A = this chain, B = another copy of it.
Amino acid sequence: MARPKSEDKQKAILNAAIQEIAEHGVSAPTARIAKIAGVGEGSLFTYFSNKDELLNQLYLYIKEELRESMMSDYPKTESVQNRIRHAWNTYVKWGVANPQKRIVLAKLGMSNKVSEQTKTQGSEAFADIFNMISESTANGLLRNYPTSFLSAIMGSLADTTMNFIAGNPAQTEYFNNAGFEAFWSAIVNA
């Protein structure tokens, strides 16, 4: 009966926010984000009730994209090592291909503008990987650490790996392999 909201504009705002926040931090002004998105500043507030809401939505938007990247061809039937390797590879590949999104995720995570609830919601998407690790710990294949600890180790070593690839793209293969080797040795039961 009236003018409908446009999904395109919502995404334009989110993508503009990624650009601006990657470069200038979470304090990037809404005026600038709107300008880059090609909408009026007022419109930003018809799609997001306030800036905090935008930041929380942005966090979930990026996490969801990452999830799709990692899960689209997830090899459910292969060995645990192969599945973990697949998760590692797709994560690193995504991070290298999307440096801004990776930075924004990190900045948002540290910003105390993103609520705990949002963060929890963001990790739920990765339940498959979480469960796989959990089962492998029970098997005795992996060290008997809490699953959340093993996941966090994966995250931090993958992040470190991506940082080195970002600083030296010619060595992408080398650092990806070295990183995984270190990670696997760290978690596998000796």
A contact set with B: CB distance below 8 Å: 24-27, 106-107, 110-112, 143, 145-146, 148-149, 152-153, 155-157, 159-160, 163-164, 175, 178, 181-183, 185-188, 190
Q: List 9 A-B contacts (CB under 8 A).
A: A27-B27, A146-B164, A149-B160, A149-B164, A153-B160, A155-B160, A157-B186, A182-B186, A182-B187
Instruction: List chain B residues, Cβ under 8 A from A110.
Output: 106-107, 110
Contact assessment for B145 and A153 in the assembled complex, using a CB-CB cutoff below 8 Å:
no
- Pick from B111, B112, B145, B178: contact of A145, CB under 8 Å: B178
Instruction: List chain B residues, Cβ under 8 A from A143.
Output: 178, 181-182
How far is the CB of A119 from the nearest CB of chain B, in Å?
A: 13
- Pick from B25, B159, B182, B190: contact of A111, CB under 8 Å: B25
Once the chains are docked, how many angstroms separate the CA of A153 from the CA of B160? 7
How far is the CB of A96 from the nearest CB of chain B, in Å?
A: 16
How far is the CB of A176 from the nearest CB of chain B, in Å?
A: 12
Once the chains are docked, how many angstroms separate the CA of A157 from the CA of B149? 10
6 A-B pairs besides A152-B160, A182-B187 with CB distance below 8 A are A25-B112, A153-B182, A156-B156, A157-B186, A182-B186, A185-B188
Contact (A190, B185) CB under 8 Å given A149-B164, A149-B178, A152-B163? yes
Contact assessment for A183 and B186 in the assembled complex, using a CB-CB cutoff below 8 Å:
yes
Instruction: List chain B residues, Cβ under 8 A from A25.
Output: 26, 111-112
Contact assessment for A157 and B163 in the assembled complex, using a CB-CB cutoff below 8 Å:
no
| Chain B residue at minimal CB-CB distance from A190 | B185
